Copies of this chain bind each other. A is one copy, B any other.
Amino acid sequence: MKYSIGVDMGGTNTDLGLVTENGNIVQRRNLPTSAYTELEPYIRDLMREVESMLDTQRAIDGEAVSLEGIGVGAPNGNFYTGCVDNAPNLTIKGNLNFAKEIHKYRDVPVVLSNDANAAAYGEYVYGGAKGMKHFIMFTLGTGVGSGIVVDGKLVHGSTGAAGELGHNILVPHGRKCTCGREGCLETYTSARGIVQTYLELRRENPERERMLKEVPDSEVTSKLIGEAAHQGDPVALKTWEMVGDWLGLAMANSVTFSAPEAIFLLGGPAQVGEPLLRPLRAAFEKYLLNIYAGSCQIRMSELKANEVAILGAAALLKMKV
């Protein structure tokens, strides 16, 4: 049987999985990324897990297994160079040449991209974007990421760093962003941005708050705001309405670029569902240029939240260059 490996490298943990041709994850392993400060031991241990999964699979299948390649989704993962370039969240510092290091152990194709790009490509190969030629994926989390597919290919641009719509400036001179600039989409629709909106609203309207009255500012999360919304809390509902409006504007703007068939949404805060999706769809329609009316749907990712990163990384191996 043929398998590929998908590696989801996060700042704290690395999840990896053995993936079948059809996109089933048949085994999973885990590595504590933050326990490493050098690339060599990290890759050594990563490849140990890879070999161990292949051995196990050989026993399960009762036949030879072949490895199609290793796909890696990593912060600042660069498709062109096969390197992770100075990712601020990693304890392993510098320009990390994954491909070169992995090739010390296995001579297989190694493909890298950032996590949002990988998620987008996972949706294309295994999820709801199958058969589409043009779509965009927005991922909401600690930050806001994006992956853009044009003519069936991920857009990596001249440097490999294309598709950073989370840092599109949505509101000129708006909220301060961690990138040092102001008004980035991420400051409004990341988990942190959502919390900020909620805190601002409850400060302005203390009498309207119901569910999270007793929760101190530092303990409010986007998840709690989601639950409060489902219980009808007016401040929480207003928060999601504003988030939906900002995200709808950003999505409508992205359509003027590549006229995608669909825009997919992924990530923890997006799980809230209707309290976000209702205002999001309304805003998208309101802000969409009329020539695109009806040509682009907003859809939730069809991949499971705990599988998308590994599947996306594995999917990168399917990309035509």
Chain A 141-167 interface 0/1 with B at a Cβ cutoff of 8 Å (1 = within): 000000010110101111111111101
Q: Is A27 an interface residue (CB 8 A)?
A: no
Collect the chain B residues with CB atoms within 8 Å of residue A252's CB.
169
Q: Is A292 an interface residue (CB 8 A)?
A: yes
- Of the candidates B132, B134, B164, B260, the one whose C-beta lies within 8 Å of that of A289 is B164
Q: Is A57 an interface residue (CB 8 A)?
A: no
Given A153-B151, A290-B180: A170 and B168 interface contact (C-beta under 8 Å)? no
Q: Is A243 an interface residue (CB 8 A)?
A: no
| CB within 8 Å of B: which A254-276 residues | 254, 256-261
B259 touches A169 (CB 8 A): no
Collect the chain B residues with CB atoms within 8 Å of residue A132's CB.
158
B295 touches A159 (CB 8 A): yes
A160 touches B257 (CB 8 A): no
Collect the chain B residues with CB atoms within 8 Å of residue A41's CB.
none
Main secondary structure of the interface of A (DSSP, over half): loop
With CB as the reference atom, state the residue of chain B lying closest to A288. Answer: B181
B159 touches A292 (CB 8 A): yes
- Of the candidates B160, B161, B253, the one whose C-beta lies within 8 Å of that of A168 is B253
- Of the candidates B148, B151, B161, B259, the one whose C-beta lies within 8 Å of that of A292 is B161
User: With the chains together, A195 CA to B253 CA distance in Å?
Assistant: 25
| CB within 8 Å of B: which A69-114 residues | 76
A259 touches B157 (CB 8 A): yes
Given A156-B259, A170-B172: A161 and B253 interface contact (C-beta under 8 Å)? no
- Of the candidates B150, B160, B165, B180, the one whose C-beta lies within 8 Å of that of A150 is B150
User: With the chains together, A252 CA to B169 CA distance in Å?
Assistant: 9
User: With the chains together, A254 CA to B165 CA distance in Å?
Assistant: 9
Chain A 275-292 interface 0/1 with B at a Cβ cutoff of 8 Å (1 = within): 000000000000101111
A57–chain B nearest beta-carbon distance, Å = 36
B261 touches A158 (CB 8 A): yes
A258 touches B162 (CB 8 A): yes
User: With the chains together, A159 CA to B296 CA distance in Å?
Assistant: 10
A255–chain B nearest beta-carbon distance, Å = 8
Collect the chain B residues with CB atoms within 8 Å of residue A60's CB.
none
Q: Is A215 an interface residue (CB 8 A)?
A: no
- 15 A-B residue pairings within 8 Å (CB atoms): A132-B158, A155-B258, A158-B259, A162-B256, A162-B259, A163-B256, A163-B259, A164-B289, A164-B291, A165-B257, A168-B257, A169-B252, A169-B253, A172-B249, A181-B289
If A162-B257, A168-B256, A257-B257 are given as contacts, then 18 extra A-B residue pairs at C-beta distance below 8 Å, sorted by A number, are: A134-B157, A157-B258, A159-B291, A159-B292, A160-B259, A161-B259, A161-B292, A161-B295, A162-B256, A162-B259, A165-B256, A165-B257, A169-B252, A170-B172, A171-B172, A179-B289, A180-B290, A181-B289
